[in-house]
Amino acid sequence: MSRRAERRAPRERRARRGLPTWLAPPHFAAVGVVAWAVARVAAPAELPVVVVQVASDAAPAAVERATEEALLLEAALDAGLDRRDPFVRERLLADARATRGGEGAAPADDAALVAEARAAGFVRRDPLIRQRLAERVRAMAPAPEDPGDEALAAFVAAHRADFEAPARVTLTQVFLASARGAGVEAEAEALVARLRAEEPAPAALRGLGDPLLALPLRADQTVAELDRRLGEGFGARVAALPVGRWSGPVRSSFGLHAVRVEARVEAAVPPLGAIRPAVLAAYRAREVEPARRARLEALRARYDVRVERLP
């Protein structure tokens, strides 16, 4: 009996699926067990049924992912990809041998084992086979062509925040810990005045102040990095200081700092040539998404998709 006839013969056929990779912990707690089945009906006017089972509290995004995987698998099976993929064949062999109890069980040739695994529904039950076939269908979609530098430059201008290199500050700092007590502010002001007057060599600074693991004596940091290391607002205060002179004291979460800004680089988008691969990848990703949705809607039109929420 042909595969097509074999699929149309029963009025309804359901095959439980194992957990897809995206339902692995911690996600399975939110989505629960997903199973789906396909029913082929004899009446030509009726569409094949794809049942997608999700947890009762599954979020819309989880339902969408489960539906997409089920539809992509159907597309792969309709195209016969499962019968031409060496990876699928090896997985079916492994599934059959595991079911039989391992390599030393009753002898059977590979073709018979693959047939057994197919008959047992492992094409649908094996999560790695499902993932493989779904990815093969995704990969069949052509990637958008390179639109050229002018279009990519316009894309960067429209999405500047995605490609902008953040402002950076190179600084030297001497730290006085709050644990010094009430006189720490006066000590810090005197330290700043001394550093301005003497402009000591970097080596001489190592004997001043207190140790600070959060930031080295000299550092090249973004404003966000300084905030993460030394507390909210520290980076902005340092970024506003003049370049080339000792300033402060600047307060952090740990104490007070005499700071000398050595260099400051404003936030800017690098030249297109320096970031072109990343820009092209982002452009293609944005172009692929509408095409992906259109392809999924075309698949939906071929099936009667029914979502069942499990208690």
For residue range 125-162, list pLDDT tens digits in order. 898 998 899 888 877 766 667 788 888 988 888 888 88
pLDDT tens digits for range 192-243: 999 998 888 888 888 788 888 888 888 888 888 999 889 998 988 998 899 9
Domain positions in the chain: 3-143+288-310, 168-265
Query: What percent of the chain is modeled with pLDDT above 70?
Result: 82
The more confident residue out of 283 and 24 is 283
Helix H, strand E, coil C: the string for the chain is: CCHHHHHHCCCCECCCCCCCHHHCCCCHHHHCCCEEEEECCCCCCCCCEEEEEEECCCCHHHHHHHHHHHHHHHHHHHCCHHHCCHHHHHHHHHHHHHHHCCCCCCCCCHHHHHHHHHHCCHHHHCHHHHHHHHHHHHHCCCCCCCCCHHHHHHHHHHCHHHHCECCEEEEEEEEEEHHHCCCHHHHHHHHHHHHHHHCCCHHHHHHCCCCCCCCCCEEEEEHHHHHHHHCCCHHHHHHCCCECCEEEEEECCCEEEEEEEEEEECCECCCHHHHHHHHHHHHHHHHHHHHHHHHHHHHHCCCEEEEEEEC
Q: What is the pTM of this model?
A: 0.44
Q: For the domain 168-265, what is the CATH code?
A: 3.10.50.40
Residue 182 pLDDT greater than 60, yes or no: yes
* pLDDT tens digits for range 74-102: 888 888 999 999 999 999 989 988 888 75
